[in-house]
Chains A and B, each alone.
Chain A
């Protein structure tokens, strides 16, 4: 592993303002969140950033496996039960510059996080000593997942070219945005729930969030502005994974376009990753993919995505 000589300098500068939190989520399971999280983190750390991955796929945590680690010594359960600061639970991932807070646990009820436990994690995430904290979330739309997701500065959604995955991605977006806008006045919240939640067949005139905010801009400009600002708090990105057919590469831009029409201007399309058997091969070798196959197309795309996100951070 080449150590980056600039790592510590840059880290000292960036660390002062608190870590950037990115969250990886998906509507459907098995689309490659953990792989993407692990390797995106690895790519970032190779660019000289200090990165800590947090496995929040509670009850099914296996980010450590994607990173080639055996069962970790310290886990999130220990943090929840313990009294030490969160940084004490960060483990170094062998052969990398990454840190990991594992979600693996002997306690079988970790999936059903209690409210105060969730709050404790949420409170401490930003105090993790790193430039970037990447959250690997569980699939689906339960409140724990949504609350972690909404907290992140960037939300990255993994999707595969499969109708079920796409449907669930839209569903996840609707849930996440509803959760994000729960601070809005009750009347507004009701409207949002109506637009995003009811059956499409119902004969409503406002069918999309974009149209709702548009209409509110006419009647309640301040409210509309508030919603826009709240939605602007988080950047959302789509990653299309497991691309098999050449035509599948068009899915990401198409989804971004549909989302722009439906939700407003988000999310953008970050890129795609080809289906690659070597990913499984790397996992069997218990090595992170980016380390095992650094020249592969998927590795290059992943590095490109990391670079593009860093670039966006620098512009912001």
Chain B
């Protein structure tokens, strides 16, 4: 329970281990709902109402992600890459904790994490912090071009070979995704699947990337 210390880690929010089973997560969520329900006598004297509401939101958010196997997988990949908790419906929050302490450049949620989820590819976890420029572009991107994807991947220090190794997607297709080489890209259905896995591996939200990848946007009307 103590291996991971970042503030907004979903596993910590529910008080479960990173390798928790689905059952563990469901019962932890149930326990959390009980503990933080509005008439709970266990919590009101430690936290004020605003804080309690924030915690309740956090719990819902955590459960929404961890209870869904796909979302959880994506989240785990994000964690391993050091960028947890930035689902599309929840934009990165401003740092919350720095008041009395001199403010460091990054919020805890974005801190690089060496101790992260056990069993993850070491190459993925080894990345250091992403410069502010690229982070801003990631957060505000309306188009995930192949160019931008490659840039993000390189900033995160993830090799194409590592992605290929992990996802079993051929290097050729991965390269084509970054080159937006429509001649070598697979059919849209396959492309979406590959793109999702690729996005997850570099800590991006798969759905978001798929819906904003230029070749797919061009293809969709033609295919219908």
Q: Give complex CA distance A215, B7 in Å.
A: 9
Q: Is A126 an interface residue (CB 8 A)?
A: no
Closest to A263 in B: B46
Q: Is A194 an interface residue (CB 8 A)?
A: yes
B31, B45, B104: the one within 8 Å of A218 (CB): B104
- Please report which residues of chain B, range 15-64, place their CB below 8 angstroms from some CB of chain A when the two chains form the complex: 15, 31-32, 34-36, 40-43, 45-48, 51, 55
Shortest Cβ distance from residue A211 to the other chain B in the assembled complex, whole angstroms = 5
Q: Chain B: interface residue count, which band?
A: 20 to 34
With A205-B97, A218-B108 already in contact, the answer to whether A254 and B15 are too (CB < 8 A) is: no
Number of interface residues of A (CB under 8 A): 35
B42 proximity list for chain A (CB < 8 A): 166, 251, 254-255, 257-258
Q: Is B166 an interface residue (CB 8 A)?
A: no
Q: Is there contact, CB below 8 Å, between B45 and A167?
A: yes
Residues of A near any B CB (own CB < 8 A) = 161-163, 166-167, 170, 191, 194, 200-201, 204-208, 210-211, 214-219, 250-251, 253-255, 257-262, 265
Q: Is there contact, CB below 8 Å, between A215 and B101?
A: yes
Q: Is there contact, CB below 8 Å, between B34 and A254?
A: yes
A191-B100, A206-B99 given; name 19 further pairs at CB < 8 Å. Answer: A166-B42, A170-B45, A194-B100, A200-B48, A205-B98, A206-B97, A206-B100, A214-B6, A214-B7, A218-B101, A218-B106, A219-B101, A250-B31, A250-B34, A253-B31, A253-B34, A254-B31, A254-B43, A255-B35
With A257-B15, A265-B1 already in contact, the answer to whether A216 and B41 are too (CB < 8 A) is: no
Shortest Cβ distance from residue B1 to the other chain A in the assembled complex, whole angstroms = 6
Q: Give complex CA distance A214, B2 in Å.
A: 13
With A166-B41, A265-B1 already in contact, the answer to whether A207 and B51 are too (CB < 8 A) is: yes
Q: Give complex CA distance A205, B96 in Å.
A: 6
A219, A254, A262: the one within 8 Å of B47 (CB): A262
Q: Give complex CA distance A251, B43 in Å.
A: 10
Q: Is B119 an interface residue (CB 8 A)?
A: no
A216 proximity list for chain B (CB < 8 A): 101
B45 proximity list for chain A (CB < 8 A): 163, 166-167, 170
- Please report which residues of chain B, range 63-80, place their CB below 8 angstroms from some CB of chain A when the two chains form the complex: none
B97 proximity list for chain A (CB < 8 A): 205-206, 211, 214-215
Q: Is B111 an interface residue (CB 8 A)?
A: yes
A258 proximity list for chain B (CB < 8 A): 35-36, 42-43, 46-47
A194 proximity list for chain B (CB < 8 A): 100
Q: Is there contact, CB below 8 Å, between A214 and B48?
A: no
Q: Is B102 an interface residue (CB 8 A)?
A: yes
Q: Is B5 an interface residue (CB 8 A)?
A: yes
Q: Give complex CA distance A191, B99 in Å.
A: 10
Q: Give complex CA distance A211, B104 in Å.
A: 14
B48 proximity list for chain A (CB < 8 A): 200-201
B104 proximity list for chain A (CB < 8 A): 218-219
With A211-B7, A258-B35, A258-B46 already in contact, the answer to whether A265 and B2 are too (CB < 8 A) is: yes
Closest to A218 in B: B104
Q: Give complex CA distance A207, B97 in Å.
A: 8
Closest to A167 in B: B45
With A200-B48, A254-B34, A262-B47 already in contact, the answer to whether A161 and B101 are too (CB < 8 A) is: no
B46 proximity list for chain A (CB < 8 A): 170, 208, 258-259, 261-262
Closest to A251 in B: B42
Q: Is there contact, CB below 8 Å, between A217 and B5?
A: yes
With A205-B98, A205-B99, A265-B2 already in contact, the answer to whether A253 and B47 are too (CB < 8 A) is: no
Shortest Cβ distance from residue A173 to the other chain B in the assembled complex, whole angstroms = 9
B108 proximity list for chain A (CB < 8 A): 214-215, 218
Q: Is there contact, CB below 8 Å, between B35 and A254?
A: yes
